[in-house]
Structure 1
Amino acid sequence: MAGAVLSRRRVLAGLLLLPPAVAGCALGRAAGPAEPDPLIALADAARADAALAAAAVAADPNLAAALQPLVEARTQHAAALDAEIARLNPQRPTPAPAPPPSSRPGRPEVQRAVLASGRAAADVALGLPPERVGLVASVAVCCNTYAEVLT
């Protein structure tokens, strides 16, 4: 035979010499499913917190002075997080607004939700690249501060 014949053994031996990611691409397979952006859950939580605090104000207008700034802050968090998500994934559809809470929340429910959001943001910040840490860390600090103020 005039040319080199590629046998299965030669192809497999050649693939063993390639890094696994390159070998996966050479075989027409993706390296694995991309993980969802961790900021999506934080943005969803920001929308939910804003809706919860707004519902608490609607249920008890006396809470407006304490909770209206939180509604505004969490709405701004959702917008900032959505902008960062869109920067890396412009094709992502616009997120839906948070559904209203099923019960009449009060100050303790809002405090628990914001505290949980602050913890979640702090946890996410630890695994982010440097250009995203500042945004998420500021969300975590803001949530934790509001949770303290609401005690």
Structure 2
Amino acid sequence: MDTPWSRRRVLAGLLLLPPAVAGCALGRAAGPTEPDPLIALADAARADAALAAAAVAADQGLAAALQPLVEARTQHADALDGEIARLSPERPTPTPTPPPAPTGRPGRAEVQRAVLASGRAAGQVALGMPPDRVGLVASVAACCNTYAEVLA
């Protein structure tokens, strides 16, 4: 008669236990130390807003098309920063990375390319987000992609 707890099964189970326990411990340890992917999206939002503002400063004729984008991307950065703080209140809030200074006189095409890249990045991040965060990230992606189409 075959018993459910044969010596072989117990030994095999004991041999597999250490790798399983180690894998669980490593998985828990890696999570909090990894940077939140929303930090890069917030930095990109600030950079897009700065680029669009520089384009408006260089050509006031772009103000009607780009000023709403400046405001939207600033709101994105604020919302993403708030979500980062909400999920990890014990983690020190990183100081926002200052956006790079635009080189030359940025125009509509440069802003369109930057916003398109931000939309793609947000879309990729959204694919790996948990349900409570995916709405915000997908909203950012949709807004960026829409503005990229409007500016095309």
Q: TM class by shorter-chain length?
A: 0.7 to 0.9
C-alpha separation in 2, matches of 1:85 and 1:122: 17
C-alpha separation in 1, matches of 2:75 and 2:136: 11
Q: What is the aligned-residue RMSD (CA, Å)?
A: 2.4
Quote the residue 2:72 is aligned against: 73
Cα offset for 1:88? 1.9
Quote the residue 1:116 is aligned against: 117
Quote the residue 1:106 is aligned against: 107
Secondary structure of 2:93 counterpart: coil
C-alpha separation in 1, matches of 2:24 and 2:150: 52
Quote the residue 2:133 is aligned against: 132
Quote the residue 1:144 is aligned against: 145
1:87-142 deviations in Å (ceiling 9; x for gaps) = 12232233143232122110000000000101111111011000000000000000
Larger proportion of helix: 2
| Gaps in structure 1 of 5+ consecutive residues | 1-13
C-alpha separation in 2, matches of 1:96 and 1:31: 26
C-alpha separation in 1, matches of 2:15 and 2:104: 59
- Contact 1:15–1:23 (Cα < 8 Å) also in 2: no
| Gaps in structure 2 of 5+ consecutive residues | 1-13
Task: Sort the Cα spacing of 1:135 and 1:15 in 2 relative to 1 into closer, same or farther, 3 A.
Answer: same
C-alpha separation in 1, matches of 2:56 and 2:95: 27
Equivalenced residues, count: 136
- Contact 1:21–1:31 (Cα < 8 Å) also in 2: no
Secondary structure of 1:64 counterpart: helix
Determine what percentage of the aligned residue pairs are the same residue: 77
Task: Sort the Cα spacing of 1:68 and 1:23 in 2 relative to 1 into closer, same or farther, 3 A.
Answer: closer
Quote the residue 1:5 is aligned against: none
Secondary structure of 1:80 counterpart: helix
Secondary structure of 1:98 counterpart: coil
C-alpha separation in 2, matches of 1:118 and 1:24: 34
Cα offset for 1:15? 8.7
- Contact 1:111–1:147 (Cα < 8 Å) also in 2: yes
TM-score by length of 1: 0.79
TM-score by length of 2: 0.79
